[in-house]
Structures are given as structure tokens and as C-alpha cells.
Chain A
Amino acid sequence: MVGRDVMSSRCGRMDAMLTRTTHSVDDRSTRYVAQENIVPLRPDEFSAEDAEKTFPAEIGKWFRRYDGQTARFVSNVRDEYPED
């Protein structure tokens, strides 16, 4: 169950849209996931086309581009996570 979207109740949609129950700053289609549930993808499992299709434009808030070689997005939040 961990990592479920925080605004999951169907009733009171406006309220659900408005209320932020997480401490995180961005909550639209975001989740909060335990480390043990994370299985990183290898470059051959996630292409640049996948990267283009999978994520909404909001991704640009945190990343500069997708690097297909390493199957990682290039961080644009080095100020907050300098070692990442």
C-alpha cells in the first residue's frame, strides 16, 4: 500500500485536490515510496522514448533531460541534493 497517491478519495474531489497531506511540495501525480519497494530499471528496460511518453511536463521542474545511457534523468535540483 505504501506509495499510494495521497489524494485517493473519490468523494470530495475539490477538497482532495486542495488539501495537501504530505510534507512534500508537489503532490499532483506524486508518490512516496519505501526504499524496499524500489527496483531500478536498467537502460535496456527504459528507452528515451519511454521517458518521453511516461512522464508529464512537470518532470522539468526537477530534471534537465533524460540520459538513456544510464537510464537516469539528469538532476536540476543540485541545490537541494548536491550529491545526487
Chain B
Amino acid sequence: MTQIRRESSALRPLPRLDALPDEVIQAILQQLDALTLITISTVSRHFQAVANEQLIWKDLLLHDFRFWDDKHELSKKVGDPSFHDWKDLYAVRHTANVATRRAVQYMIDEPVGRLEKAQGALEYGYGIKDVLLELNKDASLTDCVLAQRYWSQMVLACLNRSVALDQWTRIRYRTDIANPTETALACLDMFVLGPTAEGDINDTFRRLDEMVDAVRTGTPELDDQTPRQKAIAIAEFLRAKKWVGIDEDRDYYSIENQFLGLALRSPHRNSLPLISCVIYSYVCRAFGLRAQPCSYPMHVHAVVQPPLPSSPTDPQLDLDNRPLPPDHSTDSFNPDKEQPSDLTHLYIDPFNSATPSTLSRMQSQLQFTAPNATQTQRTTYLLPASHRSLLIRSAHNIIRSVQSTPFDAAHRQQSSDTHNNVDISIYDAAYAALFALVMFPSSAQGLASSLSDLRQHYAHHYIEDLRNYTNHILPLTTGLGAFGGDRGVTDPLVKLIRDEDNTPKKAKRRSELRASGPTTNGEAEAEESGPDVRFRVGTVFRHRRQGYVAVVYGWDGKCEMEERWILGNGVDRLPKGRGQPFYNAL
């Protein structure tokens, strides 16, 4: 498409072009890009009228912009024939792009005030993802490839997280969200996406729906089957395709298997029981069943139930499409009183098998897996779990994975999985889990502890999350003592981070250091007595004894680490000890 546009924009205006019928001119203009279209509209009134044709702008808009913020309500506008402001909308998107490009360029060039600029760009919403991905991709064409990649990715990561936080906030306060479990888990992926167009919440649902289509095509007889038959057939299909479960050679707690979106888009589609159950339940629901993971201890199962009757006066059917006996205690319209029953509750562990477990078997196993649970708890384990409890469980799984990631892998900072071709930072994964646990706390104590961890992550690794933090976390902390930020009161941590960003760094000059020297009497000898910082920022070096390659990004005239670090690392045993220059290296 771009190719065609480029060629046609090079066309010289043909004589009598404006003599062509409007439809033909319009068809020609449709091949142009926005800039050329605007240029041509200045040629004549006639062209202006045709070039302002809203449908041209609509096509252009949908072609040029892939990502849309919810605030634009794009799908509503697309379906609304009376909407005529496509050109204006294009202008809105274009303005946001220009502002975002400027913000990233500012962050590359200016050391002071970067946070502020980033927050400004983020205000435009999810739409700027298009331009951020472009900046990241085109970085290699510039003379600041590393900086452009870094700063555009930073804003992008922040933007992705803001989408997740917005969704979680919606789920917290509203009960009318469709597919809350899948949405809540897809939000976790937004923290570990990286600079890719794939894997966001919409993409995750698109892939789930593709799976549903595949099941429909692969098992055409499904619609005529009983709920029990459907549940088994779907599990068999997904297992045969290896779309649920895990390959035998894969590490169970490997972090890649913890994310719904990753499980769906990685070629091997490995997933933990919880994720497998979420996928399976979603597909079951698409075929009219009620299905949801249940919080069975140790190993999440999916609980499948027959659909509710279309009206309360119709009889509730069981898993085999027979009416329930009149004395059956299940009160499907009153979930609070719901009791699991063999007639209406089928337990499937799609991670391990397509063969359902009976209620009685599930109950008897609870005696071993949860011997101390109360009767109420045991009942809860066997009923559909809330999206909230599944998100919490998922977050705990992620934290456990992070903790069990081998140190070597963490050391390389990436938990790199060449097998699945994905790279996730364990920090990003942990950050996702902590945010989830703060947004959906299981107890006041748990909240205080997760919040404290989250603040540490924010302060040390994610200061760019200024807006995310103040918008989503501060309001939750009201009245929480030490971390409590009452509305309107500035959190001292936020203030510190803001101030640091707005304060120029103190310049360090090797020449001054050299001249100053350790002697304080200020005599002539001071001239050459200071530390001789020999290597400059940017120097690539090999460590003399440990052999690794690193790059210098900063230095001190002498070792400025705390005493504990100096003693612990035996600095004084070095021939030149702690008094020599020390370098920050990456």
C-alpha cells in the first residue's frame, strides 16, 4: 500500500485531471497518504471538496493507525454512518503523533525534565503506541539509535502498563465487564510486552476467538451435544492441538508459562494449569456452557456447568440435558446458595487430561490436599472462582516463578527463552504481580506488604511510572499509615522523584578532580596529586580477572561504596586499594 502511495504521490498533476468524474478523482485520492491529500486539497476548490470526502479520511485513518484508545470509541464510530468527523479525528491522531515524537526527541537530547515530557505524551492515550513502535523500529536510521530505542521503549512500557491499570480499575469498580477473568489476566501481559505490536489485551482476545473458531471448525457436531459431551470434546480438541498444558521438557515454573497472552502467542503454547483452565473455560463459554476455573488447592480445575435456562420458569437442565429432579438443591439464580452437584458441576483439568473428575472424587481429594479446610472453604474450592481470586493466584504464581528463576538467568537480567523465542524481564514480571496484588488485595496486611514492595520497585526501577503511580496507586493508599497518601497531599516519594528529574546533575570533571588532590594545604604540589581517572564514559573493556566485557557509564575518583560493600568485596586487598578510581559499568 505504501508502495503504491509513494508512486502516486510522485505523479505530476495530469492535464485535465479535474475534468474526471468526482468518483474517479476520489478513487485516485484514496491512494494517497494524508500529507499528499492535504497538499492536493490546496490545488483547487474542486479538489478540496473531493479531498475532504470523509470516507477517504476514514480509510486513511484505519490504515495508518492500528492502536486506539478506548476514549475514541472507534468501533462505535465505524459502525455509525452519521459520524462525519473522520478528518478531524485524523488531525487529533496526527497531533498526538507529532507531540509524542517531540517528547521522545526531548528525552533523547535533554537530561532534565524527561519525566514531565513522558507524562505529557502519555496523556494522549493508547493511540500513541503506533508512533512509539515506529520510533523504536526506525531508531537504527538515526544517529542516536540506542537512546531513541531506550526512551521510546520506556514510554511504550509505561503506556502499556497504564492500559492494564485502567482495565483493572474498571474491573474493580464495575460488575458489568464481559470476560473479567480473561481481561484481568491479559492485563498482566501488558507489563511484559516489550516493543511489539502483538500481545496486548485486544490481541489476546483475538487469539482466544481464533481458538474458538478452530474448535468450531474442527468439531462441527459440537452444537448438538449435551453439556457433558461438549466439555469433554473441547478439552480433547485443545489437548490434541497442545493448546493447553505443557510440553514434558518444559520447566513448570518457567515465567513464560504464567501469562495468558504469552501462552496464546508463543509457538509452543505452554501454560500452567491456571492459564490452561482460563483458555479452556473461555472456549467452553463460547459454546453456551457456563465455565470458569475454580480455586481448587494445589491444582486449578475448570468447573463446567450447563447453561442457565432462558427464563426462570423454564426447568434447569443437567449436564446431560435432563431436567433436574424437583428436590435438587441447586439454586442457579442465587449464586450465594450454590452447592456443587454431580448433576450440574463437571470438573475438568485440561492441563492433564480431557477426562472429567466427578464431584465426589474432587471432594475426597480435598481431605488430603486441604485437610484443615472448613466445610464452607471446601465448597468454595469447588465453585467457580472470582476473577479477583484467580488474578491474585496468578500474581502469586508469578512471584514464585521470579523467586525460583536461576540466579544466572536473573543476572543476565532477562529470563531468556530461546525455545519459545520470548524475552521477559523478571523485574517486569514481578512488577506486574505486585501491581495486581495492590489493586486486588486479599487482606489489609497483604496490601501493606505488596504496596511497600511496589513502592520500592517504582522508586528504583520504574520512576517513569509517575502518572500510573499517582493515578492508580495513591488513591488506594488513603489511610494506610506510613504509605498513606491522602488525596491532594503529595507523596514525598513522588515529590523526590519529580525534583530529581527537574534538577540538573552536578557535573563531574576529571580535570578538576586531578587538580584538587587529597592534600588540603593548597600548595603548588596539588596540581597533579588528585586521582587520575584514566578511562572515559563509553569505554568498552574486559575485566582483568573476571573476563566479562562491560562498558563504563560513570566513575568516581575513589571507591564510594558503603563500607560493608568494600569489606565484603575485599577492595583493600587490591594492590591499589580503595583509593583508586572506580567505574560504574554495564
Contacts and interface: CB of A to CB of B under 8 A. Distances in A.
A50 B549 CA distance: 10
Given A13-B410, A18-B453, A65-B145, A72 B507 contact: no
A36 to B, nearest CB: 5
B25 interface: no
29 contacts: A1-B569, A14-B430, A18-B456, A20-B460, A26-B584, A29-B412, A31-B584, A32-B559, A32-B585, A33-B585, A34-B580, A34-B582, A38-B544, A38-B583, A39-B541, A60-B148, A60-B153, A63-B147, A63-B551, A63-B553, A64-B146, A72-B536, A73-B540, A77-B537, A82-B509, A83-B511, A83-B536, A84-B510, A84-B536
Interface of A: 1-6, 8, 10, 13-14, 17-24, 26-41, 46, 50-51, 54-66, 71-77, 79-84
Contacts of B562: 21-23
Contacts of A30: 553, 584-586
Interface string B532-543: 011111111111
Interface string B500-520: 000011111111000000000
Interface string B104-135: 00001001100000000000000000000000
Given A35-B576, A51-B540, A72-B540, A57 B149 contact: yes
B508 A24 contact: no
B206 interface: no
A59 B583 contact: no
A46 B538 CA distance: 13
Interface residues of B, number: 79
A27 B377 CA distance: 44
Nearest to A24: B584
B413 interface: yes
Contact of B504 (A24, A28, A79): A79
Given A13-B403, A35-B576, A74-B538, A24 B146 contact: no
Given A21-B562, A72-B539, A82-B507, A35 B145 contact: no
A27 B543 contact: no
Given A14-B453, A24-B584, A35-B582, A83 B561 contact: no
B144 A5 contact: no
A54 B542 CA distance: 12
Nearest to B568: A1
Given A38-B543, A73-B540, A84-B538, A10 B407 contact: yes
Interface string B563-582: 01100011100111000111
Contacts of A31: 550, 584-586
A79 B541 contact: no
A74 B581 CA distance: 21
A81 to B, nearest CB: 5
A38 B148 CA distance: 29
Contact of A33 (B407, B412, B550, B575): B550
Best-surrounded residue of B112, B150, B457, B544 (most CB of chain A within 10 A): B150
B543 A73 contact: no
B145 A64 contact: yes
Nearest to B153: A57
B399 A14 contact: yes
A38 to B, nearest CB: 5
A1 B96 CA distance: 50
A81 B508 contact: yes
Nearest to B145: A65
B427 interface: yes
